[in-house]
Amino acid sequence: MADAADVNTLSFEKALAELEEIVGKLEGGNVPLEESITLYARGEALKARCDALLKDAEARVEKITLGADGKPAGTVPLDGE
């Protein structure tokens, strides 16, 4: 497992895959207590990274605008800017 410092450089897919792996290990219940604590902390950092990346992606999503005829007329940023 990589250092906690590298979490901020992971892509969403890599962070999510590692988070799923950690959850599987913790749910399995075969991890010593100290390692469980370390895994949990890493999982929290990975979750925060995934949340941040998702919020960033949502901010970039564009909403389709419809013209008077009901057909797509263009796009505007999701947040209305």
The predicted structure's pLDDT at residue 79: 59
- Structure confidence at residue 36 (pLDDT): 96
The strand pairing partners of 62, in sequence order, are 77
pLDDT for res 58? 76
Q: Which domain holds residue 21?
A: 4-77
Give me the number of domains the chain comprises: 1
With contact defined as beta carbons under 8 Å apart, do 49 and 5 qualify? no
pLDDT value, residue 9 = 94
Q: Kindly give, in sequence order, each residue whose CB lies less than 8 Å from that of residue 22, ignoring residues fewer than 6 positions away.
A: 39, 40, 42, 43, 46
From first to last of the 81 residues of the chain, give the pLDDT tens digit.
556 669 999 999 999 999 999 999 999 999 999 999 999 999 999 999 999 999 888 766 666 666 677 777 777 666 555
pLDDT score recorded for residue 32: 96
